[in-house]
């Protein structure tokens, strides 16, 4: 006799799939460039949905750099080897839950409390994953980092994987292989006037092009470009720039033929400028003076946004399957209900020979 799966079990599995699908769509809307191919800023692997394991290995391949052969010269024996590297992303679980007051309280409200709890968990999970993406990209390990409202958002900065931080020597010098500071003498000399500018965007794009290995640009509809995620305070400073109107016009012209450019802050030096609230920001009066944490790293002398110029495969995400991503439970003789959500996966910034493979951090003063 065939086994019959209960309706409740099927319903929970459906809820779980819907939750994860919705969360991933939300995160993609936040970042814009997320998918399973290597031509995305965030490359996602779902292999662990189909098989067991506690980590996922991704392949990074740099550009070919040889001269090739000309004419009828022998190619055999002169082939070029690919410079490749494997990045391992460990996975972890993150959970949260909402418990309702009880049947009587449910009777008093006119809206569906279970439905509202599910929606709140979806938003919470989206924000958690989006925050993780930008903490990892910025190499942030400061667990006391706060947002502009004073809420601690760095508490899980080390979740799943610890991202490589920006070398102290680069922050002290104001420049590095994958780093720029608005104050050329370094973060310890940063003043409130050292804000984000379009000139810094140009410098970051140049650094990306000349990097070894080169940071690979995105390619959409025949357009090759980088993306820069800007903290809202840095976006404000860009908007106050005399050249911002030109940057907006550049984005609008491209938006007419390619929707990926629509709604952008601007387009400058072949860089798509996107405002993003999850870009790391350092309040030196609350979180200490470093994106690394208290008494480590190079101190910032002013509140600072870590804006991020990115190309392909800047960060990797491993996603595992969970039929229990969303669970509704009863308590107290079915008088109370609770809803729990969980995500099993991992995120990590890509590194190639100890250098960021797809991101350049740009520190600039960002005062409220």
Q: Is 75 left (phi over 0), alpha (psi -120 to 50) or beta?
A: alpha
Q: Taking Cα atoms as reference points, which of 320, 311, 71 lies closest to residue 211?
A: 311
Distance CA 42, CA 136 (A): 12
- In terms of DSSP bridges, do strands 271-275 and 223-230 run parallel, antiparallel, or are they unpaired? parallel
| 213 prior amide bond cis, ω within 30 | yes
- In terms of DSSP bridges, do strands 218-220 and 326-331 run parallel, antiparallel, or are they unpaired? unpaired
DSSP characters over 6-53 = -HHHHHHHHHHHHHHHHHHHHHHHHHS-EESSTTSSEEEE-GGGTS--
Q: How much is the pLDDT for 108?
A: 60
Q: How much is the pLDDT for 236?
A: 97
Query: How many CB atoms within 10 Å of residue 57?
Result: 13
Show pLDDT as tens, one digit a residue, over the chain (368 residues).
343 334 454 455 565 677 778 888 888 888 889 999 999 999 999 888 777 888 998 888 666 666 776 777 777 776 666 666 788 999 999 999 998 887 777 666 645 788 888 889 999 999 999 999 999 999 999 999 999 999 999 999 999 999 999 999 999 999 999 999 999 999 999 999 999 999 999 999 999 999 988 999 999 888 899 999 999 999 999 999 988 988 888 888 787 677 778 888 999 999 999 999 999 999 999 988 999 998 788 999 999 999 999 999 999 999 997 777 888 888 888 888 889 999 999 999 999 989 999 999 999 999 99
Contact 170, 187 (CB under 8 A): no
Q: Which residues contact 273 (CB under 8 A, 6 or more apart)?
A: 201, 228, 230, 235, 238, 247, 251, 264, 265, 266, 267
> Residue for token digits 């984005």?
251
Distance CA 228, CA 196 (A): 12
Q: How much is the pLDDT for 84?
A: 67
Torsion angle, alpha carbons of 315, 320, 324, 325, to 10: 10
Helix axes 232-239, 244-255, angle to 10 degrees: 110
Q: Rounded to two decimals, what is the model's pTM?
A: 0.88
Contact 183, 190 (CB under 8 A): yes
């Amino acid at each position: 006799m065939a086994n019959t799966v209960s309706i409740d079990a099927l319903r929970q599995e459906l809820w779980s799939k819907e939750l994860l699908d919705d969360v991933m769509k939300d995160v993609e809307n936040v970042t814009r460039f997320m998918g399973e191919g290597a031509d995305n800023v965030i490359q996602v692997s779902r292999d662990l949905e189909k098989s067991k394991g506690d980590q996922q290995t991704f392949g990074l391949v740099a550009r070919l750099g040889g001269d090739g052969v000309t004419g009828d010269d022998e190619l055999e024996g002169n082939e070029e080897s690919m410079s490749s590297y494997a990045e391992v992303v460990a996975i972890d679980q993150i959970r949260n839950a909402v418990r309702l007051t009880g049947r009587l309280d449910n009777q008093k409200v006119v809206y569906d409390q279970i439905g509202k709890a599910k929606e709140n968990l979806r938003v919470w999970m989206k924000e958690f994953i989006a925050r993780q993406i930008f903490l990892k990209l910025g190499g942030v390990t400061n667990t006391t980092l706060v947002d502009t409202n004073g809420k601690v958002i760095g508490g899980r900065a080390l979740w799943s994987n610890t991202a490589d931080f920006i070398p102290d020597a680069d922050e002290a010098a104001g420049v590095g292989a994958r780093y720029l500071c608005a104050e050329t003498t370094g973060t310890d000399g940063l003043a409130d006037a050292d804000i984000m500018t379009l000139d810094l965007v140009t410098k970051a794009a140049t650094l990306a092009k000349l990097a070894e290995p080169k940071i690979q640009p995105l390619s959409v509809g025949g357009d090759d470009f980088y993306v820069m995620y800007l903290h809202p305070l840095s976006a404000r400073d860009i908007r106050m720039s005399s050249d911002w109107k030109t940057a907006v016009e550049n984005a609008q012209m491209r938006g007419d033929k390619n929707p990926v450019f629509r709604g952008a802050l601007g387009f400058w030096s072949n860089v798509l400028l996107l405002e993003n609230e999850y870009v790391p920001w350092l309040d030196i009066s609350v979180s200490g003076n470093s994106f690394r944490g208290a008494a480590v790293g190079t101190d910032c002398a002013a509140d600072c946004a870590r804006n991020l110029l990115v190309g392909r495969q800047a960060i990797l995400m491993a996603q595992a399957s969970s039929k229990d991503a969303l669970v509704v439970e009863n308590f107290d003789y079915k008088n109370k209900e609770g809803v729990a959500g969980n995500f099993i996966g991992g995120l990590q910034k890509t590194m190639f020979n100890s250098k960021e493979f797809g991101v350049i951090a740009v520190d600039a003063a960002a005062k409220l």
